[in-house]
Structure 1
Amino acid sequence: MAAGIAGIDEEWNSQQENGVMQVAKKDVENDNVSSSSNQASEKAFENEIVPSWKDQVTFRAILASAVLSVAFCFIVMKLNLTTGIIPSLNVAAGLLGFFFIRVYTWVLERFGLLKQPFTRQENTVIQTAVVAASGIAFSGGYGSYILGMMPKVAAQAQDGATTNNVKHLSLGWLYGFLFAVSFVGLFSIVPLRKIMIIDYKLTYPSGTATAFLINSFHTPKGAKLAKKQVSKLFKWFSISFLWSFFQWFFTGGDGCGFSSFPTFGLQAFQKRFYFDFSATYIGVGMICPYMVNISLLIGAILSWLIMWPLIEKKKGIWYASDLSASSLRGIQGYKVSLMNQYKKQDSQSSSNTDVISYDDQRRKEIFLKDQIPMWMAGLGYVALSVISIIAVPQVFHQIKWYQIMVAYIIAPILAFCNSYGCGLTDWSLASTYGKIAIFIFGSWVSHHKGGIVAGLAACGVMMSIVSTASDLMQDFKTGYLTLASPRAMFCSQVVGTALGCLIAPSVFWFYYKSYPTLGEVGSSYPAPYALMYRGIAILGVEGTSSLPKHCMEMAVGFFFFAIALNLITLLLERFENKWGLHRFIPSVMCMAIPFYIGGYFAIDMCIGSLILFLWERKNKAGANAFAPAVASGMICGDSLWGIPAAILSLANRNSPLCMKFLSAATNAKVDAFLNG
């Protein structure tokens, strides 16, 4: 982590904690400060005993997790095979887990049979297990690298695939591969949980929002400040949910709806600069430190408004002019390579803040109580890696054991980078790391030895580790804020991963056998990313020489630029203490993310920062107390809409309207065509 951003992050958290304490001491009325009360957020729960980690992982929690995991795996699989875009399901899992157990305990209570009350820690365990299970449905690659191995997809790619470069699907090897690779990632990042959550104070916005929601469900009666925070949360939860529902009516086609609104004009829209009316990322922007959002915007401007337009002028000189937009031989190659190198060196730590609130003292005490020994994490990673190193080549003979070993050596570094970036911005780039693995290992194996399948298999290994690690750390953040034991969180991750390994292949096989045209372009289940992943693998077997000119030179240049910027930040933090200039140096990690994705979400997040800034100018104490609740409500409402939207999609119910924007000239041509 860049020292400058760490400093900003700590200052922001410290201000937030102090603000909460101020408001807690004065009983907030209509967001204004009045008389005294002297309680922090966790004070509302101080009379509740935190159950032991074993009592948090209950049989009913596992049962609820299993039932919800089946439903969520169907939702994720459907989205995998249609659009390929998966929304965050943390909030929905926490909400549905609450209602599932609440109904169950209410029934038992009516008959006098309830022995164990439903706690927020148990609620967190359910949410963690369900997200872990549904995460396997995504990282398992059923809509991407697994389908990319199929002869049907190979025929569409027209790559003249030999038997070495295709893999026929079988439920047996799908189970074997998934069980071999899915658990390794759980041990890759566990030793760093204290650094990420307590020392770096990373926000993990979705995890934070989920924790706010769970805490609000279980807040004891009589807690005045907490009651007001809950009221704010549910008010904005409702507004966000209804806004997402309203937007859905205008999304009846590709490129339709408010999410494709050309806010700054059509040319800016083509450069991915627009406000997409996402309540989620406005809320995320309110939670993230100011400098994180500013860094994202700087990265978006540097890449999409300056670098990519300049590189596009080299079309036909640096790269061929007739390539598709997704080809790594063209401008896409620069985007993937530069983003990866730009991110790699942003990993400096920071010092702790001396001001620790009651909330943080309580949370830190519980978070550090049930330690997961370092030796256990290390031994677990090595043991499971050995199993995977032996098993994966048995499934894919194209890739050798020593190549899998190399993947497991470098994977923890990439897992850290992804978990750190996710903690700052809520973006997981697991699929991007997977694509890089395709390129590296496909080139290593070569085409005639089955490099296409080897690259796709390596993608699965890498994605499994990197995705699982960021999900685990996101859930650790939720557990930290709900006082759930780290051991309970880890156990629920293991349970959820096991459930995912059992459920996800079966759900995929159901679709595969029920829809013979699955994976075909133009079918009901086209799995659009399968063909793209195979295309990357085809390019990968040709090596770095297939990349456009000067791509590697630029990547190396940004690599050293990242080192230099972090070194400057570190030196300023250590040796200057008057002006605090290190706090104003942008984060290299945050600057890198828009290089590949675009600037639209950075604009959303900066608007969230602007709202928070204006609120603080008007009433800083009230803003610090209620902004997290408002932001969490916005994230939760927008995220929850993903469930009914997915159900409508499962039922083949599409939006009745399409709102799309055209230039005046194009609109005139359309009118002339319709009238002619």
Structure 2
Amino acid sequence: MSQSSPPSTPRPSAAHGGPPPDAHSQAPGVSAETDPERYWLQNVYQGGSRQLTVRAVIAGMLIGAVMCLSNLYVILKTGWSLGVTITACILAFAVFGTLRSLRVLKNDFTALENNAMGSVASAAGYMTGGGNMAAVPALLMLTGALPPSGWLVVWFAVISALGVFAAIPIKRQLINIEALPFPTGTATAETIRALHGHGEVARRKSRLLTGAGVIGAFLVVLRDARFTWLTNIPDKVSLPFSMLGKKASAWTLSLDFSLLMVGAGALVSFKTGWSMLLGAVLAYGFLAPAMVAQGEIAEVTYKAINSWMVWTGSALLVSSGLLSFAFQWRSVARSFKALSGLFGGKRSGEEEKDPLAGIECPPSWFPLGFAVLGPVAVFLMAHLFQIPWWAGVLALPLAVVMGVIASRVTGETDTTPTKALGPVTQLIFGGLAPGNIPANVMSANATGGVGLHAADLLTDLKSGWLLGANPRQQFIAQLFGVVAGAAVVVPVFNILIPTPDVLGSVDFPAPATMVWAGVSKLLATGVAAMPVSARWGATCGATLGITLVLLERWAPSKLKAFIPSAAGFGLAIVIPASSSIAFFIGAGIAEFLRRKKPVLAEATVLPVSSGFIAGESLLGIGIAMLKAFGMMPK
């Protein structure tokens, strides 16, 4: 939501959980009617309620770790990280409600405990985002090696924690004063209110999520478990036609037995779903056969097709992402304006007048956090990735800039632009350190990670602001989640991706990785190293990405519904066509329910889709681990 002037903060009623107005002291001439922060303190803040309890932290770390593993599997399959917080809040409510009914627990799990738990879980679950699971696999593809696991855990934790600290100086402006919508944060707050106000709604959603998870897991057993007593179902069924003498499935045009992709499709818009189907048909049904016939693609396998197609898809995704980001220049301009006040502390005496001085994070925590963690980050860049120390130092203020921009854009649009900010940083360091692939990839990882976790914390703090939570406690909760996510994601990634050749395969297409690796390779070797046909493909992809964004922005309203999503179309080019078909099926089913049965859709789409994703991804990881340790035939 773009705004020319800061709107007044909405005024929740006591029915939303806020206490009645009390006799808080007020500065002379300042009233709750004119000061949104003072109004919030008097009417919404619930300082006496249980929030960051030990059980909330433990539950958040455990649920967040599970969601992190699920997202790791999904991002290697699709390139997207999926929502964490709302699903985590539903799970936590169901678990604690069950324990309470069994008399294992004496006290109810409060709404603000659930909110604090969500902050922990969100920080852990999104450890796969911000370029983490694009940059590290890209580095593995390009160099053939990664630093030891322990060092990578420290790297992820430090970069993510810097993002948490980067959110401190802009929180009050974006949330308290400007009241940016942060749609996911607002939706989370409404979900928590509904859960804790209507127990039967929560129980129904938790049962749906659990049941869908069991179904998704059972399908994985039937498909992937290699037991002697089990007859496996096929991975896919080919569409009923051939091209150039090869079955459609050879071109990845098939129906997969995967509920994960169907569930993920149900969580995206229908426009994204049909755009992916269109992109898959054009790319794998027409472009790939044409390139094979001309000898530009050596053989009809997904890996061979993708090695050529990735240039077209990457160019489309990068050009459309950068142009969409450029059209948000007003948000960017406001972000840079906000940067001027980051280091401006309060004058003497102002702290006493600040009504939230004892509740908000002190402004001094921002420079202190960077003073402590910044040198560690620079050391890790130099030690792990051979990034020159000056480049590492330069990455820190750039990361702050990216964090501020990502936070504002997320607040206004609910989209964290890491896919645009990553290539921007790659271009910057490609010019500063030409030919240095680790510097190019991992500096972008640093800025992307800071940006994502700053935006993630602010999204969680928006929920807390609406519910009356203590922001300082949520900040601490976020740090617990960072540690849990970093500790989990690295070792499991090493099990799933034991060698670089697994990336870009049908099992793990890793489209985000392919984009980052492609940009780095291009910057390191130059355009001349690309095959001529690939250059034409990249040019066409970039042109199409720009065209789709311009049409989406300037076409008449009646026509916009028929313009493909650039993100969906581009993604379809770099993942197997079967995945795009499954996405379309999921999006189509969800859209049908929303139009014909809106009440049923609201009650079922999110929990059932999340259950399919969690069940298949977690058991898929479990089977992969059993195979890796020799406990199951491959």
Pick from 107, 115, 126 the counterpart of residue 124 of structure 1: 115
Post-superposition CA distance 1:223-267 (Å, at most 9, x none): xxxx4x55763564355234313312332279x857634356575
Q: Distance in 2 between matches of 1:63 and 1:625?
A: 34
Aligned to 2:218: 246
- Which residue of 452, 464, 471 maps to 2:449? 464
C-alpha displacement of 1:95: 5.4
The residue aligned with 2:551 is 565
Distance 1:81 1:400, change over 3 A: same
Counterpart of 2:482 (choices 469, 493, 497) is 497
Alpha-carbon offset, residue 596 of structure 1: 2.6
Counterpart of 1:145? 136
- The Cα shift of 1:281 comes to 5.6
Quote the residue 1:233 is aligned against: 205
Q: Secondary structure at the match of 1:118?
A: coil
Match of 2:56 in 1: 61
Aligned AA for 1:553? T
Match of 1:548 among 512, 518, 531: 531
For residues 276 and 359 of structure 2, the distance between their equivalents in structure 1, rounded to whole angstroms, comes to 35
Q: In structure 1, what is the Cα distance between the partners aligned to 2:48 and 2:454?
A: 21
CA–CA separation in structure 2 for the residues paired with 1:477 and 1:313: 54
Q: CA RMSD in A?
A: 6.2
CA distance in 2, matches of 1:83, 1:588: 15
1:592 is matched with which residue: 567, 570, 580? 570
Report the CA distance between 1:519 and its aligned residue.
5.1
Q: Which of residues 387, 394, 398 in structure 2 aligns to 1:399?
A: 387
Could you tell me how far 1:640 is from its partner in structure 2? 3.7
- Alpha-carbon distance in 1 for matches of 2:264, 2:412: 13
Indicate the percent of aligned positions where both proteins have the same amino acid: 17
Query: 2-side partners of 1:594 and 1:470: how far apart?
Result: 27
Contact 1:53/1:485, CA 8 A, preserved across alignment: no
Deviation for aligned residue 1:607: 3.8
Mapped to 1, the partners of 2:561 and 2:407 lie a distance apart of 22
- Equivalent pair of 1:333/1:547 in contact (CA under 8 Å): no
Q: Which runs of 5+ in 2 are unaligned?
A: 3-13, 21-43, 227-231, 330-357
Residues 559 and 384 from structure 1, CA distance in 2 versus in 1: closer, same or farther, beyond 3 angstroms?
farther
SS of 1:56's equivalent in the other structure is coil
Q: Distance in 2 between matches of 1:588 and 1:644?
A: 32
**What amino acid does structure 1 have at the position aligned with 2:443?**
A
2:51 alignment partner AA: Q
CA–CA separation in structure 2 for the residues paired with 1:71 and 1:295? 31
Q: Which secondary structure state, in structure 2, belongs to the residue aligned with residue 399 of structure 1?
A: coil
When normalised by structure 2's length, the TM-score is 0.62
For the pair 1:177 / 2:155, whether they are aligned, the reply is yes
User: Cα distance 1:649–1:397, how it changes in 2: closer, same or farther (>3 A)?
Assistant: closer
Report if the CA contact (8 A) 1:249-1:655 is conserved: no
1:138-172 CA distance string (max 9 Å, x none):
8796997389579xx96xx5xxxxxxxx776384x
What does residue range 483-632 of structure 1 map to in structure 2 within 5 Å? 489-501=474-486, 503-504=487-488, 508=491, 541-549=524-532, 550-551=535-536, 553-554=539-540, 556-558=542-544, 560-562=546-548, 564-569=550-555, 572=556, 582=560, 585-598=563-576, 600=578, 602-608=580-586, 610-611=588-589, 614-615=592-593, 623-632=597-606
Alignment of 1:4-83 (within 5 A): 51-52=46-47, 55-66=50-61
**How many angstroms apart in 2 are the aligned matches of 1:273 and 1:343?**
27
How much does 1:633 deviate? Answer: 2.4
* 8 Å Cα contact 2:182/2:413 also seen in 1: no
What is the Cα deviation at residue 592 of structure 1?
Answer: 3.4
Which secondary structure state, in structure 2, belongs to the residue aligned with residue 493 of structure 1?
helix
Which deviations, in whole Å up to 9, do the C-alpha atoms of 1:18-69 show, x marking residues without a partner? xxxxxxxxxxxxxxxxxxxxxxxx9898999874498422333224334556
Query: How far is the alpha carbon of 1:629 from its aligned partner?
Result: 1.2
Output the amino acid matched with 1:123. N
Q: Does 1:262 align with 2:238?
A: yes
- Out of 580, 593, 610, the residue aligned to residue 636 of structure 1 is 610
For residues 214 and 333 of structure 1, the distance between their equivalents in structure 2, rounded to whole angstroms, comes to 43
Q: Compared with structure 1, are the counterparts of its residues 558 and 286 closer, same or farther at alpha carbon in structure 2 (3 Å cutoff)?
A: closer
Change (3 A) 1:528 1:129: same
Listed one character per residue, the Cα deviations across residues 505-561 of structure 1 (whole Å, up to 9, x for unaligned) are: 9x74x999xx9x965989xxx999899899866775323332333355335524542
Distance in 2, matches of 1:400 and 1:340, equals 27
1:314-357 CA-to-partner distances (Å, cap 9, x unmatched) read: 544xx88899937997332222222211222225579xxxxxxx
Relative distance call for 1:531 and 1:611 in structure 2 (3 A) is closer
Range with greater deviation from structure 2 (77-86 or 629-638)? 77-86
Candidates 196, 215, 218, aligned match of 2:196? 218
Whole-angstrom distance in 2 between the partners of 1:243 and 1:52: 42
Choose which of 83, 99, 124 in structure 2 pairs with 1:133: 124
> For residues 374 and 455 of structure 1, do their structure 2 counterparts lie closer, same or farther at Cα, with a shift above 3 Å needed?
same
Letter in 2 for 1:58: T
Aligned partners of 1:69 and 1:134 also within 8 Å? yes
Equivalent pair of 1:76/1:86 in contact (CA under 8 Å): yes
Query: Are 2:433 and 1:445 equivalent residues in the alignment?
Result: yes
1:169 is matched by which residue type in structure 2? Answer: P
Q: How high is the TM-score relative to the length of structure 1?
A: 0.59
1:396 offset after TM fit, Å?
A: 4.7
Kept after mapping to 2: 8 A contact 1:186/1:469: yes
Q: Distance in 2 between matches of 1:472 and 1:275?
A: 38
In structure 1, what is the equivalent of residue 439 of structure 2? 454
Residues 251 and 284, structure 2, Cα contact 8 Å, conserved in 1: yes
Aligned to 2:547, what secondary structure does the other structure show? Answer: helix
1:169–1:436 Cα change, 3 Å: farther
Task: Quote the Cα distance in structure 1 between the aligned partners of 2:127 and 2:514.
Answer: 20
Partners in 2 of 1:136 and 1:532 — Cα distance? 19
Cα distance between partner residues in 2 of 1:239 and 1:193:
39
Q: Is the 8 A contact 2:411 2:459 kept in 1?
A: no
Are residues 456 and 560 of structure 1, via their aligned partners in 2, closer, same or farther at CA, if it must alter by over 3 Å? closer
- Give yes or no for contact 1:240–1:635 (8 Å, CA) kept in 2: yes
Q: Number of aligned residue pairs: give it.
A: 548
* Offset from partner CA, 1:271-314 (integer Å, 9 cap, x none): 55555465566556556554444444444455444555555555
Deviation at 1:129, TM superposition (A): 1.0
Letter in 2 for 1:245: A
- One-letter amino acid of the structure 2 residue matched with residue 561 of structure 1: T
Quote the offset at 1:631 in angstroms: 0.2
User: Aligned pair in 2 of structure 1 residues 70, 285: CA closer, same or farther (>3 Å)?
Assistant: closer
Q: Could you tell me how far apart the structure 1 residues matched to 2:267 and 2:164 are?
A: 26
Distance 2:426 2:225 in 1: 31
